[in-house]
């Protein structure tokens, strides 16, 4: 399985000729480094939640184009997409059979933020990768030992110690840093320089997915 990152929390998985896209949100496209048209060949699109850095109807419309990818999200994401004319499947706690991808959706708690309303998050996991969205919920600990973890490494809701402690408790073999698309490249380099040796000591490979389209194979 090939995993690629397109700024912030947008991930593309490729397996057996099929492609699955997570969270094509505004932060992935706002500075022009990624053109949503370059992601138009996906078969499945999954949204963890509706915050704009994870969710963007305008970009989604370009990605979908004349294609027919299957789109999945929680109840509020689904309602918003339907109001914009998209066909979408509402997801709760359930398994999804998406061609070569067998994915489990799990409702989890968004980490605390300064907001009147905090959305529910859907974490998605298959046999090799856990994408927790913006959550370090205790329910995710059942997947400790997963091969790869998409780990938020920068966010209003976390510290570097909190990110490292969550990853250490999950014991993945690989960490994909996400949720850092608002940082300039020189600052990301510094952040990755900080994280990498600590993960190395813990026996975890930290993948420096800094440029759009950077990825690796599981």
For 3-35, write each residue's pLDDT tens digit.
Answer: 999 999 999 999 999 999 999 999 999 999 999
Are the C-beta atoms of residues 5 and 214 closer than 8 Å to each other?
A: yes
The radius of gyration of the chain's CA atoms, rounded to the nearest angstrom, is 16
Q: What is the mean pLDDT of residues 126-134?
A: 97
Element (H, E) at 192: helix 185-201
Q: What is the mean pLDDT of residues 89-106?
A: 97
Q: Read off the pLDDT band of 185 (50, 70, 90).
A: very high
pTM, two decimals, is 0.96
Q: pLDDT digit string (tens) for 190-199?
A: 999 999 999 9
Listed in sequence order, the DSSP H helices in the chain are 57-64, 75-83, 160-170, 185-201
Phi and psi angles of residue 24, each rounded to the nearest 5 degrees, phi first: -75, 90
CA 27 to chain centre: 12
Strand ordering across the sheet containing 44-46: 89-90, 70-73, 44-46, 18-22, 11-15, 2-5, 214-217
How far apart are the C-alpha atoms of 14 and 147, rounded to whole Å?
A: 16
Q: pLDDT digit string (tens) for 138-184?
A: 999 999 999 999 999 999 999 999 999 999 999 999 999 999 999 99
């Amino acid at each position: 399985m090939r995993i690629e990152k397109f700024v912030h929390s947008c991930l593309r998985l490729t397996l057996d000729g099929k492609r699955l896209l997570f969270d094509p949100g505004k932060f992935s496209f706002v500075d022009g480094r990624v053109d949503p048209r370059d992601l138009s060949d996906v078969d499945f699109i999954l949204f963890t939640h509706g915050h704009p850095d994870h969710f963007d109807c305008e970009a989604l419309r370009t990605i979908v184009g004349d294609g027919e990818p299957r789109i999945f999200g929680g109840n509020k994401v689904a309602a918003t997409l339907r109001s914009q004319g998209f066909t979408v499947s509402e997801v709760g706690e359930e398994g999804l059979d998406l061609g070569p991808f067998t994915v489990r959706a799990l409702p989890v708690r968004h980490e605390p933020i300064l907001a009147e309303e905090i959305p529910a998050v859907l974490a998605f996991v298959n046999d090799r990768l856990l994408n927790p969205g913006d959550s370090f919920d205790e329910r995710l600990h059942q997947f400790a030992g997963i091969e790869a973890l998409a780990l938020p490494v920068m966010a209003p809701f976390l510290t570097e110690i909190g990110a490292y402690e969550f990853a250490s408790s999950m014991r993945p073999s690989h960490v994909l840093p996400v949720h850092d698309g608002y940082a300039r490249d020189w600052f990301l380099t510094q952040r990755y320089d900080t994280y990498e040796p600590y993960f190395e000591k813990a026996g975890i490979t930290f993948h420096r997915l800094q440029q759009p389209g950077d990825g690796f194979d599981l």
